[in-house]
Amino acid sequence: MKIVRIIARLNVGGPARNAVLLSEGLRCEGQGTPYQSLRSGTGQAKDKGQGGYETILVCGEVSNNEGDMTYLARDKGVVPIIVKELGRDLSIINDWKAFWKICKIIRKEKPDIVHTHTAKAGALGRLAGILCGCRLVHTFHGHVFRGYFGRVKSWMFLWVEKILALFTDKIITVSETLKKELVVEYRIAPEGKVQVVELGFDLGELLSLPVKEAGDIVKIGIVGRLVPIKNHKMLFRVASRDKGQGTRDKVRFIVIGDGGLRSDLENYVKELGIKDIVEFKGWVKDLKEIYEDMDILVLTSLNEGTPVSIIEAMASARPVVATDVGGVRDVVEDGKSGYLVKSGDERDFSEKLAGLVSDRDKRLRFGEYGRESVRERFSKERLIKDIYKLYNKALSKGDSLR
């Protein structure tokens, strides 16, 4: 069985990790196991790579202001085919070139399934797959129909996805909430075509982190790209609000990530007079370094799929305060592993955060509960098995992914 997996770029985030782990893990999943060939229809074992799987990962280049995760592919022994025009930004010329390069790759490789991740790669990859007559799987790690663009662009992207869904054999979402949005709210595809496969990661190192020791300073971290949709300014206004409540000497805010808004956000911190309690650290490769010194993780996003940082923080036994958007509530249990706050409600966010800052026992209790809730649910092994089962349907004679 051969898979061509396509993603726009291997930037820091869940989609890139997902694509790399599947490329590496599925290749190893069936070591020594014979697989039936779709194309031959003979039922004979087909020895391809490790265990019968061939996985080709296709991606674009990471832009200068993004964190680069190509090191993860290298560490996993995954060598992607780079289509440099397949980046994040929209460009008629580059997108056209990327489309034809993807077509050439698909025609050469003759995959059984083309599996795409993220919006742009999903559009170009599926169009190429349609042209080449391939079976198509697409994963929504989130969506761009709210909070990213104006009404007209959002409407255009919505209809593009509806049309592509007609030709897609299986649509994967990373949370039940996201599935509900796509099926009920936006009517992208019928429910039977959409399957939830939650994210999975190699969480071993984080699950072994010790419980955070009590200290004089409570460190509050936010992890993600410095872009408008992440709404960092809300957190900084909350930090400014708290400084007048006698907590200034008790907290520090750590910003992990980079992006086009960094200079603007650094200036905003200065304007609010909280520069002494906010530290911008840029991208940090070592996950253990990120979470071992953190007491609380916060998320202020306007829209999300399933935030990787929340899963990682919970695996590290750190509690969470997050806006209740996208698939966040599918991970965080309000009042058990953290707190959920209505998007934009700065007062409630501030009160919930202050409550955790002042109550170490609650932080420990929330942290331990969160760790146990993600231990198996978001494991790499579970992810690989779920996708393996989905792909394996295509190996049964006459069966369809639809």
50-64, 179-193, 320-334: least confidently modelled range: 50-64
CA 6 – CA 122 distance, rounded (Å) = 8
Start and end residues for every CATH 3.40.50.2000 domain found in the chain = 2-200+379-395, 204-374
- Give Cβ neighbours of residue 127 (< 8 Å, ≥ 6 apart): 99, 164
pLDDT digits (tens, 9 = 90+) for 247-290: 667 899 999 999 889 999 999 999 999 999 999 999 998 989 99
Structure tokens belonging to residue 34: 């014979």
pLDDT digits (tens, 9 = 90+) for 226-243: 999 999 999 999 999 865
What CATH number is given for 204-374 in this structure?
A: 3.40.50.2000
Global pTM value: 0.85
CA 214 – CA 353 distance, rounded (Å) = 17
Nearest to 126 by CA among 144, 142, 155, 106: 106
What mean pLDDT is predicted for residues 54-73? 88
CA 229 – CA 146 distance, rounded (Å) = 9
pLDDT digits (tens, 9 = 90+) for 120-143: 999 999 999 999 999 999 999 988
Nearest to 280 by CA among 231, 225, 217, 358: 225
CA 243 – CA 354 distance, rounded (Å) = 11
Nearest to 299 by CA among 308, 287, 286, 290: 308
Cα distances from 284 to residues 26, 201, 243, 256, in angstroms, run 28, 17, 27, 7
Q: What is the 3-state secondary structure (H, E, C) of the chain?
A: CEEEEEECCCECCHHHHHHHHHHHHHHHHCCCCCCECCCCCCCCECCCCCCCCEEEEEECCCCCCCCECHHHHHHCCCCCEECCCCCCCCCHHHHHHHHHHHHHHHHHHCCCEEEEECHHHHHHHHHHHHHHCCEEEEEECCCCCCCCCCHHHHHHHHHHHHHHHHHCCEEEECCHHHHHHHHHHCCCCCHHHEEECCCCECCHHHHCCCCCCCCCCEEEEEECCCCHHHCHHHHHHHHHHHHHHCCCCCEEEEEEECCCCHHHHHHHHHHHCCHHHEEEEECCCCHHHHHHCCCEEEECCCCCCCCHHHHHHHHCCCCEEEECCCCHHHCCCECCCEEEECCCCHHHHHHHHHHHHCCHHHHHHHHHHHHHHHCCCCEHHHHHHHHHHHHHHHHCCCCCCC
What CATH number is given for 2-200+379-395 in this structure?
A: 3.40.50.2000
Nearest to 128 by CA among 159, 157, 95: 95
pLDDT digits (tens, 9 = 90+) for 340-366: 999 999 999 999 999 999 999 999 999
* Residue 169 CB coordination number (10 Å): 18
State the chain's mean pLDDT as an integer: 88
The reported pLDDT for the residue numbered 246 is 53
The reported pLDDT for the residue numbered 91 is 83
